[in-house]
């Protein structure tokens, strides 16, 4: 449909989870608790890293940025959803929806590359320990973090520019609790072939490249650790990677489930809970995992 014959929508309706009042109250309480734990956990990690000299190292510099991204990611989604639980009609403006898509696209890809950077950091620390201080210099660490955010910005801009060229004249109902780019594209009355191609290409390009860094780093780490004769040395090497491996497994597992499998209409309800895992549970779990499994963080907390 041509834009000249189109009455562009000014707002979208978010379906959320349910319209049952009792269930809405229960979900509100549960998600509010998750959000509070997310704020306290990630702010706690950031504050701890900033104030404790024992944590002034590249690994914790990257962890601080990961906590910042998780905090922002959850904040972009959760407060709006909590407010919607109290409202009979759940609306979001066109501009607000675009802004949410733009921000989430930046943060999602930034987290992918921060996790890849953390894997590379562990690779250098275990496989090239004599070169660690040189390779992971403050300047190089800053460049790696800046590059992660830059990749996210490029991803966000490409999707946002594409969406701004679409017309939305038909249905304005988004069957989720926030503006998801794939659902937004499906609502457009324009030709979305290019947008869908950009979405698949960017997901493959950024996702596969970051996970290849993670996999290649841990293959090299595993080979190096197997060559260590001391059992104590092996345990120490593996313990430095345990928290990161756990976080990576949860993050990429949820990502693949959401975006890389072909969803059917019958699985839409399951998909919503997979999105909850990705947008709210993972940002809450990351600081807890690093706090409970990382010896240096636990000692700093004491």
Per-residue model confidence (pLDDT) at position 271 = 67
Q: Give the Cα separation of 208 and 130 in Å (integer).
A: 30
Q: Where are the domains of the chain?
A: 11-301
Q: What predicted TM-score, i.e. pTM, was given to this entire model?
A: 0.88
87 backbone φψ class: left, alpha, beta (φ>0; ψ -120 to 50): beta
CATH code for the part of the protein at 11-301: 1.20.1070.10
Alpha carbon 52 to its chain's center: 26
Q: What pLDDT score does 258 carry? A: 66
Local confidence pLDDT in tens for the 302 residues of the chain: 445 566 677 788 888 787 778 888 898 999 999 999 999 999 989 998 888 888 888 988 999 999 999 999 999 999 999 988 888 778 888 899 999 999 999 999 999 999 999 999 999 988 888 889 899 999 999 999 999 999 999 999 998 998 888 888 877 888 888 888 888 888 888 888 888 888 888 888 888 899 899 999 989 988 888 877 777 767 777 777 777 888 888 888 777 766 555 444 444 445 677 788 888 888 998 888 877 666 677 676 66
């Amino acid at each position: 449909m041509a834009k000249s014959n189109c009455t562009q929508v000014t707002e979208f309706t978010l379906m959320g989870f349910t319209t049952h009042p009792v269930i809405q109250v229960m979900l509100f309480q549960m998600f509010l608790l998750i959000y509070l734990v997310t704020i306290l956990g990630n702010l706690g990690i950031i504050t701890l890293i900033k104030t404790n000299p024992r944590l002034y190292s590249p690994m914790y510099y990257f962890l601080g940025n990961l906590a910042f991204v998780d905090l922002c990611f959850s904040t972009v989604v959760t407060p709006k959803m909590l407010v919607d639980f109290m409202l009979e009609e759940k609306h979001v403006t066109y501009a607000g929806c675009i802004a949410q898509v733009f921000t989430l696209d930046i943060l999602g890809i930034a987290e992918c590359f921060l996790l890849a950077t953390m894997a590379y950091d562990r690779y250098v620390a275990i496989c090239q320990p004599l070169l660690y201080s040189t390779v992971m210099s403050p300047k190089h660490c800053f460049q790696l973090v800046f590059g992660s955010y830059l990749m996210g910005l490029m991803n966000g801009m490409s999707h946002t520019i594409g969406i701004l060229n679409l017309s939305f004249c038909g249905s304005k109902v988004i069957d989720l609790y926030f503006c998801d780019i794939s659902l937004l594209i499906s609502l457009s009355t324009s030709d979305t072939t290019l947008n869908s191609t950009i979405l698949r290409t960017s997901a493959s390009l950024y996702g596969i490249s970051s996970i290849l860094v993670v996999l290649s780093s841990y293959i090299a780490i595993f080979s190096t650790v197997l060559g260590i004769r001391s059992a104590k040395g092996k345990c120490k090497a593996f313990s430095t990677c345990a928290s990161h491996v756990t976080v990576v497994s949860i993050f990429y597992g949820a990502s693949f489930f959401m975006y890389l499998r072909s969803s059917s209409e019958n699985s839409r309800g399951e998909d919503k809970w997979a999105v909850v895992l990705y947008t709210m549970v993972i940002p809450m779990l990351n600081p807890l995992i690093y706090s409970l499994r990382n010896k240096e963080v636990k000692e700093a907390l004491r």
